[in-house]
Amino acid sequence: MILTTVVCGLVEEADQVTKRDDLQVLWGDARNHLDTEVSRGCGQIISLGVSGGLNPKLRIGDIVIADAVSNKKGIYVTSEPIKKFWQSVFKDAKLVYEYSSGMEEGNTADERLELFNKYHCDAIDDESIHVARFALKNDIPFGVIRVISDTAATFLPAWMLQATNVHGKSSFWDILKGLEHHPQDIVDLVEVGLNYRVALNTLYHINKKLFPA
């Protein structure tokens, strides 16, 4: 039995993954401690969750499979067998370059356009770079499969990003507090929330195909 470790950003993403003996699911701050969090005997590691769009052609709910993960410090090519298998299962998935460095980049449309033009990457997330580095260090196959939850044109209020704690859980009270100080962002917040739900639903169906009960 090959143990697969799945790394997500948010607890809602992790909740979509089937509970099985051959699956280890990590989320939140675990991405910063993979050396100690990943179970011994891990045979492959996967970055699974939602992504923001950098390529203006990507739409809400699009499934993306990373051909490579990159940031300012380097490029990490994903495992060919994992990639090919996913492409055979998800015929409409788009093969992309994934940018991943943390929550400090790509929060506005202008920042996303700059990243798209400078690094020629199509989507952005926070976890994949940690997965890639761990996989390379330990000679473990890795892959990245994601769902677009916000597009290149989406406005993400900076305060909203701070409403999620290190464990990948959003604080209802922090969101209310943010809206109290930034009531003009309520329309954007509602749109982001609805799009996130669409992406989570797609993620649920991805999981059912990859990891049936």
pLDDT averaged over 10-residue windows placed end to end, the chain, 213 residues? 90 93 94 95 96 94 97 93 97 96 71 90 94 96 96 70 54 54 56 84 96 91
- Other CB atoms within 10 A of residue 165 CB: 13
- What the block records as the tokens of 117 is 């033009």
Which pLDDT does position 73 carry in this prediction?
A: 86
For residue 112, the model assigns a pLDDT of: 87
Q: How many domains does the chain have?
A: 1
Q: Which SS3 state, helix, strand or coil, does residue 125 take?
A: strand
CATH number at residue 135: 3.40.50.1580
Q: β-pairing, 3-7 with 42-53? A: parallel
pLDDT of residue 120: 92
Q: How much is the pLDDT for 189? A: 57
pLDDT value, residue 111: 85
**What was the pLDDT predicted at 24?**
97
**CB proximity list for 38: less than 8 A, separation 6 or greater:** 5, 24, 26, 45, 134
Residue range of the domain that includes 149: 3-210
3-state helix, strand, coil in the chain (%, to 5): 40, 25, 35
